[in-house]
Structure 1
Amino acid sequence: MEQSSAKEGCKESVKCIEILHLLLDNEASPTQEDYLRSHLDSCLPCLKNYKVEAEIRNILRTKLEKREVPADLLNAIKSKISVSLAPEG
């Protein structure tokens, strides 16, 4: 596979980004994982994109705090959704 420089970009960037997101969400098939890992070995733009995306997700995962939603707030939200989805008539 030919080495892509950062200036050249990647001719398969759309496909790579789609698979990259699947991979980071643990939803990529083994074939997609193999393709992307092989591609990253020879494509600098996609490798840089992978590192940026992975770091963003890592920061979000470590900085965001999971909190339990109070039951009354949850019920109020569900009620408003039910009302807005109810057919008029």
Structure 2
Amino acid sequence: VLGALVVGLFWLAASFLSNLATFVPPSARPNLHPQRLGLICKDVEIRSGDGKKLSAWWMPAGKKSAPPVIVLHGLGASKSHMIDYILFA
């Protein structure tokens, strides 16, 4: 019983700490659009499997042989939080 309690407390602490490490408050970055950075993109909506609308950016690839990029929100973030990844891609 004591072992199960210790494991449970460890799991609870690990879950809490991982949430703190991955959550980015929405106010951490203003709404930034790729077009303000000179990138070509189109605002699109995608329906999820359960019918919810997801706002996204569709961006053509830099090379003809590459696929386009579709940018959605991240965990605890907005699309604007993904700008750094867009620039990297």
TM range (shorter): 0.3 to 0.5
Larger Rg: 1
Which has a greater percent of helix?
Answer: 1
Tell me the TM-score normalised to structure 1 length: 0.36
Q: Choose between structure 1 and 2 for higher RCO, CA contacts under 8 A separated by at least 6 residues.
A: 1
